[in-house]
Amino acid sequence: MFNLPIVQRELLIASKGLGSWLWRWIVATVAVCFGVFWLFLNSGASKAMQGDVFFVIMSWSCFTYCLLAGLWTTTDTLTREKADGTLGLLFLTDLRGYDVVLGKMFSGSLRSFYGVLAVLPVLALPLLMGGVTNAQFWRTVFALLNILIFSLSCGIFFSAICRRTSQSIFFTLLLLLSITLAPLIYFWMGGTNETFSLTSPAFAIYRAYVPLIGPALPGLGWYPLWIGCGLFTSICFLVLASWIVPKSWQDREFSCRKKSFKSSYGTAVGRRNRRRNLDSNPVSWLVNRTASMRQSRIFLILYIAVTWLAITVYSSLDGRVEPPVIITGISLLWLGSLWFRIDLTRHTVSSISEAKECGALEQILVTPIDERQFRRGHFRAMASFWLWPLISLIMAPILFIFIQALMHPEILDESGLIFGMTFIGLMFAGLPLLSFFLDIFALYFSGCWFALRNHSFGKAYWKTFGFVYLLPTIGSIFLCFIGQFAWLVTGTIFIVWPLTSLQGNFRRVVSGEYGLPTVRRTSSPDTAKN
């Protein structure tokens, strides 16, 4: 008999929890409210048009939810056990690797699965309104479940091979974005390979809800093959994770100390430079000690330089700037800014969270350095660390426009260009730039506060990135142009609130006194008699 004791135990615990029950109601309530809001806005249109557009919007919303579900559910399941040192205790029994992997995956993904099930009745409303067939609905449902399983298995795989949650989140997000956006960029550049395009989950969900009424799109017969390949890839991830987990917990920390010391502090010249920086900013070691963040910073700068150099050379050889080139450049710039936001959040949360776990924050506060000097030193170290990637992101489109103006001077002779560059440029470029800088400060200050308030890296990271960036981004998409101003308001809130909290409660949070009830001092009976 094929028995999975960890799966049974984790499912029983998760099903009895209040969070699993509450999450279904939250997701269903949000979906119903959005459906009512959409029907109210389009009350004058025909029922078929309402149902078709509503189904498309709900499908893409569910697609985003399923694609990112593995990031906040399964990426920290095994890495947290490794950090706590409890993963090896499970293998003292007769448990196998697949018992642990499947148990952690089912327990972490139960809320995500409940969320998808809660949205399905709302997704089926267009069947009653018209404009959507049964085949469209069921193809979309199976595609969403396939993407959800793939995201969860991808997260558990990187959680098995990585030792830190930050690394697991980074590699999972990198893989998901790569397989989703790379075929889209290839398509925008004029590619026509159907096999390569269907490797993207975005293309698959698009082909899933395409109606069969009228001429069908080419490549629609690839849908069953894509479902099978997705399930096969997910099974491969789970098999590899089950094979890796019994071996990964046996890694010796002592054998890796020399290697980690060299990778963390670099060469002798780099160590001397960092020692000199400690004299001016003693807190900089918290920021500069992580080798993976230094490597990610270098890769980000190389990505920006190589991609924009390729776009500039391609547009120069072509002799004119085509709209697909501009769309591709904007997409690559947005991907670079997303990379910058993710790494900045990961770096901020990990530096504070690891220092809190190992007791370094308490040791720092007993030195002559007070909390105000610590906060300022940490901010200066982070600003110095991420200065060059920020300059690269800002200067890449400016240099592109400057080079194109030099090589194509006839563009400057067009009437109304000055007005367009001043007014329209400020509206469509200045506002996103202001939102980008607000995001940077909001992610930093919120990351510091959530890292102090939460005991695990995963919770602090997803509270920061979810509340500060993901939710405002989704809201700005639905609110169209007004969403940019809503983004400015939320960014300001997430700067002022954590900054004031850090200034007033930093020492109390580090010492563990924050949130405790204040005990009033009462006089003793002897004192009262006197």
Q: Are 71 and 172 in contact (CB under 8 A)?
A: yes
pLDDT value, residue 155: 87
Look at residues 453, 510, 284, 498 and name the one whose alpha carbon lies nearest to residue 378: 284
Q: How many other C-beta atoms lie within 10 A of the C-beta of residue 282?
A: 17
Which of 191, 223, 248 is the last residue in one of the domains?
Answer: 248
Decide if 269 is inside a domain: no
Q: What would the two tokens of residue 379 be?
A: 């901010």
Residues 206 and 324 in one domain: no
Measure the N-to-C terminal CA separation of the chain; round to a whole number of Å: 78
Classify residue 132 as left (phi > 0), alpha (psi -120 to 50) or beta. beta
Interior CA angle at 348 toward 346 and 352, to 5°? 115
Decide if 449 is inside a domain: yes
Residues 423 and 484 in one domain: yes
Express the helix, strand and coil content of the chain in percent, nearest 5 each: 80, 0, 20
Decide if 258 is inside a domain: no
Count of structural domains within the chain: 2
Decide if 85 is inside a domain: yes
Q: Are 435 and 373 in contact (CB under 8 A)?
A: no
| CA–CA separation, 379 and 502 (whole Å) | 12
Residues 476 and 359 in one domain: yes
pLDDT value, residue 179: 84
Residues 382 and 242 in one domain: no
pLDDT value, residue 47: 54
Please provide the DSSP assignment of 309-354 as one string: HHHHHHHHHHSS--HHHHHHHHHHHHHHHHHHHHHHHHHHHHHHHH
Residues 174 and 317 in one domain: no
Q: Are 388 and 293 in contact (CB under 8 A)?
A: no
| CA–CA separation, 234 and 146 (whole Å) | 9
3-state secondary structure of 481: coil
Question: In this predicted model, what pLDDT tens digit does every residue of 70-101 receive, in sequence order?
Answer: 877 888 788 877 777 777 777 777 777 778 88
Residues 16 and 70 in one domain: yes
Residues 164 and 72 in one domain: yes
CB-based contacts of 263, cutoff 8 Å, min separation 6: 291
- Domain that includes residue 300, residue range: 282-508
Q: How many residues does the chain have?
A: 530
Residues 15 and 154 in one domain: yes
Residues 207 and 318 in one domain: no
Whole-angstrom CA distances from 332 to 8, 226, 309 are: 44, 26, 12
Look at residues 462, 456, 291, 286 and name the one whose alpha carbon lies nearest to residue 379: 286
Task: Give backbone dihedrals phi and psi of 422, rounded to 5 degrees, phi first.
Answer: -85, -50
Task: Give backbone dihedrals phi and psi of 447, rounded to 5 degrees, phi first.
Answer: -65, -40
Residues 341 and 447 in one domain: yes
Residues 141 and 194 in one domain: yes
Decide if 262 is inside a domain: no
Decide if 527 is inside a domain: no
| CA–CA separation, 502 and 509 (whole Å) | 9
Decide if 187 is inside a domain: yes
Q: What would the two tokens of residue 406 be?
A: 């030099």
Q: Are 251 and 163 in contact (CB under 8 A)?
A: yes
CB-based contacts of 448, cutoff 8 Å, min separation 6: 348, 352, 375, 378, 498, 502
Max CA-CA distance within the chain? 97
Decide if 56 is inside a domain: yes
Residues 236 and 286 in one domain: no
Residues of the chain short of pLDDT 70, as ranges, are: 1-4, 6, 14-15, 17-20, 38-39, 41-50, 188-198, 209-222, 249-280, 316-324, 408-430, 475, 477-484, 513-530
